[in-house]
Amino acid sequence: MIDFELTPEQRAIRDLAREFVRREIIPIAAEYDEREEFPLDVVAKAHEVGLMYLQVPREYGGQGLDHVTGVLVSEEMAYGCLGINGGVGGTGLGLTPLLLAGTEAQKQELLPPLCERGGLAAFCLTEAQAGSDVAAIQTAARRVGDEYVLNGTKRFTTNGGIADLYTVFASVDRSLGHKGLVALMVPGDTPGVRGGKKEKKMGDRAAHVAETVFEEARVPVSYRLGNEGDGFRIAMQTLDYTRPGVGASAVGVGRRAFEEARAYATQRKQFGRAIAEFQAIQFVLADMAMSLDAARLLVWRAARRLDQGRPSPLESAMAKCFASDVAMRVTTDAVQILGGYGYIREYPVEKLMRDAKITQIYEGTNQVLRLVMARQLLRQL
Ligand SMILES: Cc1cc2nc3c(=O)[nH]c(=O)nc-3n(C[C@H](O)[C@H](O)[C@H](O)COP(=O)(O)OP(=O)(O)OC[C@H]3O[C@@H](n4cnc5c(N)ncnc54)[C@H](O)[C@@H]3O)c2cc1C
């Protein structure tokens, strides 16, 4: 039996997020997008009401919620602003390796202080020469006694330079390729860690995305997740857990675009009647709603697999890839339904279209995700 009903707790937290977004995010989203600035006070408020650290167990200071609840919150937050959700989601992404591969002692030491003060985390995988090709990572982790000495520059880090805790993927031996990668937890106040160039972006503009630079930064060996050589596996497992959340955020952006377009279509009159009365517009609205529902179902299925302790690289990749393609199409359709006004910044849909694009790129481009899917599908023969 398949049950699409949410539990009372899941509904309550989704409603809390929806109300938070209505009150705290929607009124300021356009302004922060324009200023290309991340509103740290909104994160503080999200923390206050219990919308941060959703998947961190309660004993470490988090909310201890399931992944289905996590994707419900992601959808709501991105409905308000993908960029603002990015800083919150970037924190979840940064902490997932520790949750999956950390020891009890590492979690006890690193998580409670961060969750207590409402700090941000970040995930440092991408480099200039290592995007889709993670094995090409050049950031070096040189072992010296009980420490690793980190040197290198990470690119496009969400929360880069403003995070309190980084998960950094580095190489202990470049000749080993992906087998030489190590995952290290690096506190933001470690000497030799700093933010580099902050990016100016097409969309996702309220998110703080920057280089993270490591110059002779010393990290205790006790902050290593797993063993040397486990870094690649930890990074890939992390993405299996976080891609459904990206899919959910894409659904949120798409749902907002659908609702804006539907409202506009019922108000805007041409040729003596509301444009919603034209079948050409009705069919587009129907397709938008249908594909958003399909995307949400894939996202929920992938999240449920995580809650069952059966993460599926295939289903997580499908959820993120399909939902982000839907978001791109639906937001483009919304701009079309608003006509010239859709292209004007005073109306919200051009931002949604700019925001949707990044969901097809980060946490694995949709081409790379199709490779992930194909690998899994062919393995099943
Ligand atoms: C706003 C933003 C936020 C981000 N946040 C983070 C973050 O927090 N942490 C982090 O580590 N990274 C982050 N990233 C980086 C992001 O994950 C990468 O940009 C992405 O993985 C793609 O890498 P790349 O840009 O180097 O593209 P490339 O890997 O150079 O890809 C270029 C093109 O080639 C295609 N391609 C590459 N390899 C193949 C292949 N084998 N087969 C078919 N096609 C292929 C790609 O699909 C793409 O179309 C962020 C990026 C942005 C823009």
pTM to 2 decimals?
A: 0.98
**Which strand (E) or helix (H) includes residue 223?**
none
Task: Grade residue 260 by pLDDT with cuts at 50, 70 and 90.
Answer: very high
**CA-proximal residue: ligand 1, atom 2 (nearest):** 156
Angle between helices 231-267 and 349-359 (to 10 degrees): 160
The token duo for 107 is 């979690």
CATH of the domain at 93: 1.10.540.10
Residues 6+ apart with CB under 8 A from 351: 29, 30, 33, 203, 345
Instruction: Say yes or no: 224 and 296 in one domain.
Output: no
From the CB of 168, is ligand 1 less than 6 Å away?
A: no
Task: Grade residue 380 by pLDDT with cuts at 50, 70 and 90.
Answer: confident
> How far apart are the C-alpha atoms of 334 and 205, rounded to whole Å?
20
**CA-proximal residue: ligand 1, atom 7 (nearest):** 157
Domain that holds residue 277: 232-379
User: Which of 89, 117, 145 is the endpoint of a domain?
Assistant: 117
Among candidate residues 52, 61, 129, the one with its CA nearest the CA of residue 94? 52
Instruction: Say yes or no: 12 and 59 in one domain.
Output: yes
Enumerate the active-site residues.
363
Q: In the predicted model, what is the mean pLDDT of residues 168-190?
A: 98
| CB atoms closer than 10 angstroms to residue 132 | 11
Instruction: Say yes or no: 223 and 239 in one domain.
Output: no
Q: pLDDT tens digit string along 182-232?
A: 999 999 999 999 999 999 999 999 999 999 999 999 999 999 999 999 999
Tell me what pLDDT residue 169 has.
98
Q: pLDDT tens digit string along 261-304?
A: 999 999 999 999 999 999 999 999 999 999 999 999 999 999 99
> How far apart are the C-alpha atoms of 193 and 7, rounded to whole Å?
43
From the CB of 201, is ligand 1 less than 6 Å away?
A: yes
Instruction: Say yes or no: 148 and 287 in one domain.
Output: no
Instruction: Say yes or no: 12 and 101 in one domain.
Output: yes
**Domain count of the chain?**
3
From the CB of 242, is ligand 1 less than 6 Å away?
A: no
Task: Grade residue 1 by pLDDT with cuts at 50, 70 and 90.
Answer: low
User: Which of 179, 203, 228 is the endpoint of a domain?
Assistant: 228
Name the percent of the chain lying above pLDDT 90. 98
> How far apart are the C-alpha atoms of 172 and 60, rounded to whole Å?
30
Q: Where are the alpha helices (DSSP H) in 1-103?
A: 8-20, 26-35, 40-49, 67-80, 82-101
Instruction: Say yes or no: 196 and 237 in one domain.
Output: no
334: amino acid identity, one letter: A
| CB atoms closer than 10 angstroms to residue 194 | 16
In the chain, which ranges are E strands? 121-124, 140-144, 147-158, 165-171, 181-187, 193-198, 209-220, 224-225, 269-270, 273-274
Whether 3 is in a domain gets the answer no
Instruction: Say yes or no: 79 and 133 in one domain.
Output: no
